[in-house]
Amino acid sequence: MKREKFNKKRYSTLFLGLLCVILSCTRQQAIPVQAKVTVNTAAMVKTYNPMIFGGFLEHFGDQIYGGVFEPNSPLADKDGFRKDVVAALKELNTTAVRWPGGCYVSGYHWENGVGRNRPLTDDMVWGVQETNTFGTDEFIKLSRLVGWQPYICNNAGNGTIEEMCNWIEYCNGNTGEYAQMRKDNGYPNPMNVNIWSIGNENYLKQEIGYKPIEEWAPFVTNAAKAMKKVDPTVQISAATSNTREWILPLLKVAGPYLTYISIHQYWFPFWQKHEMPDYMAGIMKSEGPDKMISDVVDILEESGYRGKIKIAFDEWNLRGWHHAKFPRKTVQNYEDPEVIEAIKSREKNNIASQYNMSDALFSASFLNACLRHSDDVSMANIAPSVNTRGPLYVHPKGIVKRTHFHALAMYANKLQPNIVPLEIAAEQLIHEEDSIDVVDAIATLDEKGTTWSIALINRHPSDAINCTVNMGNQPLKGKFSATMLTADSPEAFNSIENPDRVAPKEVELKFDKGIVELPPHSLTIVHIE
């Protein structure tokens, strides 16, 4: 067998060629995915309602007791409110908070939660007993302390219209039996609760007081009429599903009395089965809010009430609360092992590692959807604000700001008050059978028309992106201050042991011919003079 003589020059050429191919592939893989954001600087600006930065508290788990309210804690003030929690809620700049539920409200009778002698009652919905030490007076006091607008949800489950009206008189009246009750309880001045909801998810059969739409529409109408007689100034919202089958019949009869319709959505329905999906599964839900809002806006248009009735998206979150084998409609045996086990399983909501960067960027995307639809969305309430799935985790010795805490705080504090339309052209981020834009953005402008704050979201888990930003026909150029939220991993989370692993940073960004590099899995709000 004849052996070919080794040709050094030939193999060196082959090696160099192969090396060039490898380097070329490497360079191609390293090129960031491209995106372009064009702000329409000639368009009319619109002022959005800051109540989209709202919150929610329900008597569930440790949202109230051991959350915002813990009288025996060394961290509490003289009224029992956790001082560290109050400070964090102020940082969130929460604008309106809905209370006391949620499913809980469909079995709640407000008179049990006022006065000096408050009874121990059965919370049928969640299978526990309620001390009623936190009631209307405490909620209003907390609202004034933090600075949010109180938004009270009425019991349309096993409650009555008369009970709803009495509650309004207690809070807002100057004269009458219930106004006098408030004064006797130590609150001489009206509490001035302006926003009230009729019911919570009464379209669901598991809710106490479920009513088909044929019953719900006239009930809401009668309730709203009666509430307006007590206080003609109150704004009223009514619970409804986000479907034509519910919204159209409801507005046909109750529309003249409503300010809002109340809609809810959690994009991971973990009620009965607890799961911990990774970053990619979570981030792929990011375009869901925009679609849902658009669908409801179309129904409002069809009803003839668009522009007259606004959307209160007063329960939203990426992850649904875990409460296996509940809610229920009857008083439970508190010694029943099944009940004990089901209640204990709710502790899975507190596992820190599940709240990764997808929670932060989904929340930013949700708020972008509300801002884009600011003509129609006047309120949104992260559900809840504290513990369970909330952005703020509270434990006996302190607090942890979850990833979405920082995203919500950035939006509530760093944006300008007016929304400006823009266009986004971006590559698609693909995961399994789903795809979304890899970049999302929103532009805001101050009242003087001189300061811009533009939020840019890079949803890609691992790639930085070269994003072009054009202000009208001009590419953005120069160095600008910015607030950036990112992490060492898309799965990064904050915990008691490491509370600041994910935290925003103040940075300076350079735009060259409009191009800026956005880190992977990041939210950036850039400020432009």
- 129: enclosing H helix or E strand: strand 128-130
Contact 453, 444 (CB under 8 A): yes
CATH of residue 221: 3.20.20.80
Q: Would 87 be classed as within a structural domain?
A: yes
Same domain for 426 and 362, yes or no, is no
Q: Is the separation of the CB atoms in 53 and 413 below 8 Å?
A: no
Tokens of 167: 């509650």
For residues 387 and 468, membership in a common domain is answered with: no
CATH of the domain at 465: 2.60.40.1180
Looking from the CA of 107 toward its CB, the CA atoms found within 13 Å total 24
pLDDT at 11: 39
Give the domain-ending residue among 358, 389, 416: 416
SS (H, E, C) 18-55: HHHHHHHHHHHHHCCEEEEEEECCCCCCEECCHHHHEE
C-alpha atoms less than 13 angstroms from C-alpha of 506 in its C-beta half-sphere: 3
Query: Which candidate, 470, 463, 474, 472, places its Cα nearest to that of 517?
Result: 463
| Domain edge (last residue) among 416, 436, 468 | 416
Same domain, 243 and 340: yes
Domain assignment of residue 26, yes or no: no
Q: What SS3 state is found at 81?
A: strand
Beta bridge partners of 527: 453
Structural domain for 396, as ranges: 49-416
Among 306, 276, 485, residue whose Cα is nearest residue 401: 485
Task: Examine the domain organization and report whether 70 and 82 are in the same domain.
Answer: yes
Q: Of the residues 363, 398, 416, which one is the last residue of a structural domain?
A: 416
The letter for the amino acid at 239 is A
- Specify whether 197 is located in the same domain as 314: yes
CA atoms lying within 13 Å on the CB side of residue 113? 24
Residues 176 and 53 in one domain: yes
Predicted TM-score (pTM) of the model is 0.93
- 278 with 292, same domain? yes
Assess if residue 13 is contained within a domain: no
Structural domain contains residue 6? no
In a domain, 19, yes or no: no
Asked whether residue 141 falls in the same domain as residue 273, the answer is: yes
Q: Let me know whether 335 and 210 are in one domain.
A: yes
Torsion of Cα atoms, 209 then 210 then 211 then 217, to 10°? 80
Residues 379, 312, single domain; the answer is yes
Count Cβ atoms within 10 A of the Cβ of residue 214 and give its class: 0-12 exposed, 13-18 middle, 19 or more buried.
exposed
**387, 453: one domain:** no
* Residue 14 in domain: no
* Rounded CA separation 4/150 (Å): 88
| Per-residue model confidence as pLDDT tens for the chain (529 residues) | 333 343 443 434 344 344 433 434 444 445 555 899 999 999 999 999 999 999 999 999 999 999 999 999 999 999 999 999 999 999 999 999 999 999 999 999 999 999 999 999 999 999 999 999 999 999 999 999 999 999 999 999 999 999 999 999 999 999 999 999 999 999 999 999 999 999 999 999 999 999 999 999 999 999 999 999 999 999 999 999 999 999 999 999 999 999 999 999 999 999 999 999 999 999 999 999 999 999 999 999 999 999 999 999 999 999 999 999 999 999 999 999 999 999 999 999 999 999 999 999 999 999 999 999 999 999 999 999 999 999 999 999 999 999 999 999 999 999 999 999 999 999 999 999 999 999 999 999 999 999 999 999 999 999 999 999 999 999 999 999 999 999 999 999 999 999 999 999 999 999 999 999 999 999 999 999 8
In a domain, 27, yes or no: no
Q: Is 1 part of any domain?
A: no
Instruction: Tell me: do 61 and 180 sit in the same domain.
Output: yes
Q: How many domains does the chain have?
A: 2
Is the link from the previous residue into 190 a cis peptide, with omega within 30 of 0? no
